Amino acid sequence: MLIDIEFKQYLIDECNERLKEHYSDEEYRKYSVKGTDELCHRIAKGIYYTGLNFNHYIELFSEDKIIERWDSFSIIRKTEDGNIDWDYFNKCSDEGVESKGNYGVCDDYQQVLDQYPELEIDDRKFVLGLSKTTKRNQSSSGGWRWEKWGEYIGKQNSQADYLYDEPEIEEIYCYHIYEIA
């Protein structure tokens, strides 16, 4: 099930104090966090627009802990009545799939929910972080590449190696699913 993260201002304040003790005023101003609004924007229960370091925000500024951060998602999932979905398991096994990644690229968060129905029906607790990447912010040399960010589950037609060179795609989201202890 998707859950909300409760960020704690006192944890932000403690981190800022450590920054102030060990860094220059200029570095403190650059790296300190003023409040929870700077960390992410909640768009639905357990779903956040955030930066690529959302896992650090969760671990530093909440009392929640991430488990299996780098592991893949099990192909074992439950049906709405709580039983193992054997049809899905057998289909994956027949195709040689043992697990699926917990990160990738999408056009919107609904595509992630469609791809991972267990996020809403499993008893385990999850959070979904999405980080927007836009074509207009890309460099003409190098930049964001499809193959570095996981499977693309969106509906747009990727035609180039780099986002900058895409003739039709203006923006995408990198997503990451975190299981919470």
Which residue, among 32, 52, 44, 34, has the nearest Cα to 5 in the 3D structure?
44
Q: Is the pLDDT of residue 32 over 90?
A: no
Give yes or no for a contact between 173 and 129, defined as CB atoms under 8 angstroms apart: no
Q: What pLDDT was estimated at residue 24?
A: 93
pLDDT at position 72 = 57
Assigned token pair, 180? 């919470």
Q: How far apart are CA 16 and CA 74, in angstroms?
A: 37
* Residue 145 CA, distance from chain mean position: 17
Structure confidence by residue, pLDDT tens digits, 90-143: 776 666 656 677 899 999 999 999 888 888 888 889 999 999 999 999 888 888
| pLDDT at 10 > cutoff 90 | yes
Domain boundaries, the chain: 9-180
Predicted pLDDT of residue 99: 63
